[in-house]
Structure formats: C-alpha cells, structure tokens
Structure 1
Amino acid sequence: QWKWHLDEVYVKINGEMHYLWRAVDQEGEVLESYVTKTRDKAAALKFIKKALKRHGSPEAITTDGLRSYKAAMSELGNADKQEVGRWANNRVENSHLPFRRRERAMLRFRQMKSLQKFASVHANVHNHFNQERHLVDRETYKTRRSAALAEWQSLIA
C-alpha cells in the first residue's frame, strides 16, 4: 500500500517566485524535494522522474488539480495511478508547515542552490527526529527520541 502525495509550494527568492516540488509518502515522510523556476509540465515531469528513479514506483500518486501533473503522468504512462481529490492531498500540504516555520526563522533564501540544499537536508533531519508525539505515550516517545539522537550522533562522528 505504498502511496505518494505530490505538491508544489511557492518560495520567494530575492523577490522572484520559485517552486519547491515535494513528494511525501503515506506516513508523512518527505521523499524528494526539487526547486524550479517554473510550474509547468517539464518541471513536473523532471521532478516525478527524479522521484521514481530514486524511490521506485508507488501504487498510487495523489496530487492536487494542477494540470501539469496530469500531463506529466500521462507522458510517463502512470495516468491510471494518479488520484485527485478535494482533501486527498492534505498529507503533503501539512508537510509544508515545518519547512515554512524554518524558512521564516532563517529570514528567507537568497539563491536557488541554497534553497535546494536546505530543503533536502531539512527533510532528512525532520524525518529522522519527527516522533509524532501526539500518537504515543511519554515513555515510548522518550525512548524513541533518545534512540534517534544516539543514531544521529553516531552518523555525525
């Protein structure tokens, strides 16, 4: 039951609009982030190809109503896997919130390269430390959190 959610979010860099494309799995973990200047079929196609190459093919791909997704999916031959619904894409919309919070704290971005680097690193760190506190009791949360921190320290050392 592997399911992806795809979405794009606009980010201003020096007053210009850029788009951060994101793929999130059914559990809310960010799989892929990609920055482009445009929001057209070519950008969607490049992003989807990159995600498919790195993570394999999912059972279903949920998107919003952007026509670029439909065009890119039909070119790839995955049009039957695409699902579009009114609130079906909330999983990825909510994954933008930690990114936006951190972006605001950093006082925005100055270059596309720094945005791309930050988005990919932030996704990995957030995936590693996001323990979904509201779903588990205190002891379980503390155990998982200390295990994540120990693993992180071993990776850094």
Structure 2
Amino acid sequence: QICPIFAAEIRKNRAGQMRAYSNWQWHLDEVFVKINGETHYLWRAVDHEGEVLESFVTKRRDRKAALKFLRKKMKRHGHAHIFVTDKLRSYGAAMKEIGNADRQETGRWLNNRAENSHQPFRRRERAMLRFRRMRTLQKFAAVQGSVHNHFNAERHLYSRSNFKLNRAAALAEWRGLCAA
C-alpha cells in the first residue's frame, strides 16, 4: 500500500522540479506497429532527459490523432517550452491549432532522443512475439515506459561497480519501504 504512494510522490516531485528547469523540451515521435497484419501507430513523447512521458496508440497518423495526443499530454504534464518533432505535417497542423506553432522545432538529427526511446520497446515487442490487440499494446507501452524510466539509471555515466552498489542500495530501500 505504501509503495505506489511513494512512487507517485517521487514522480510528482520530479515533474515539479523539471517544470522549473529552463530547458523543458518534449521530443515527439511515432512508430509503426503491426497488430494482426494491420498497421497502427504508437505516438511517444520523451522529455529532454530521455524519460518517456506518454505513449498513445492510434490507427491513423493524421492531424486529428496528433492533436488528441498533444492535448492528452499537455493536460497531464502542462506546457513545454520547445516541441521537437520530425517533419511529419500532422504535427505542424496540430501545433497550429493548439497555438504552439512557434515552439515547434524540426531538424535532421534534433529528434534522435525520441527515436532512440523506441529501441527498448522494440526489443520487448520482439521478445513478446508482437501484439494481438490495440488495447494490449496501449497497456504494454504505458507500463513499459514507466518501468524503463525507473530502471534507466544513465548507465553510460556509471562504472559497473558503482552501478551495482547503487542498484543494491535502491533495492534494499525499496524492500524496506514495502515491508513496512
């Protein structure tokens, strides 16, 4: 009972700190996913640190889908200073309708952070032998994003020994909180 409350408090505090950060950027991207031979689109929003903020599954990749995704995300996370996207015209049309057209940035390699966030998802998708239903994909993407955020401890900055020590300390603290 105490663990979910603890996790929610961490997320709330971290989101509050990140909103105060001056480089508050969102990287938006979509990826094709086949469900029973039919193409669906997984829209994904990643912040400037690489944390997955939101995942959303649609059957279409048009202005209406982009608008629904942006509104859902802005309702949950507030407004961003900069929206980094690829050159998909649906983003531009949705941004214009919301009134954020001046905050959108597109460029050849600017959106690599969002593109790279698809890699862990693709690995798990392959291991699971694809998806059968759209609802299953939505649930999986939401859970996988939050789990990846929790365990993605910027491994490139740590040596193996420090990573093991930090992981053991975090696990011990987590077990202590859940046991109480």
TM-score by length of 2: 0.82
Distance 2:148 2:114 in 1: 14
CA drift of 1:137 comes to: 2.6
The aligned counterpart of 1:32 is 54
User: Of the candidates 98, 102, 118, which is equivalent to residue 76 of structure 1?
Assistant: 98
Indicate conservation of the 8 Å contact 1:6/1:22, yes or no: yes
Q: What's the CA shift string for 1:40-76, capped at 9, x where partnerless?
A: 0000000000111101111100000000000000000
Indicate conservation of the 8 Å contact 1:129/1:148, yes or no: no
Distance 1:125 1:53 in 2: 22
CA drift of 1:133 comes to: 1.5
Structure 1, unmatched stretches of 5+, are none
The aligned counterpart of 2:45 is 23
Q: If you compute each CA radius of gyration, which structure gives the higher value, 1 or 2?
A: 2
Structure richer in helix, relative to its length:
2
Q: What's the CA shift string for 1:11-44, capped at 9, x where partnerless?
A: 0000000000000001100000000000000000
Distance 2:84 2:160 in 1: 33
Aligned length: 157
The aligned counterpart of 1:135 is 157
From the superposition, tell whether residues 14 and 145 of structure 1 become closer, same or farther in structure 2 (CA, over 3 Å): same
Distance 1:33 1:49 in 2: 13
CA drift of 1:131 comes to: 1.2
Alpha carbon RMSD of aligned pairs, Å? Answer: 1.7
Percent identity over the alignment is 69
Distance 1:11 1:134 in 2: 29
Structure-to-structure mapping, 1:40-51, within 5 angstroms: 40-51=62-73
* 1:107 aligned onto 2:129: yes
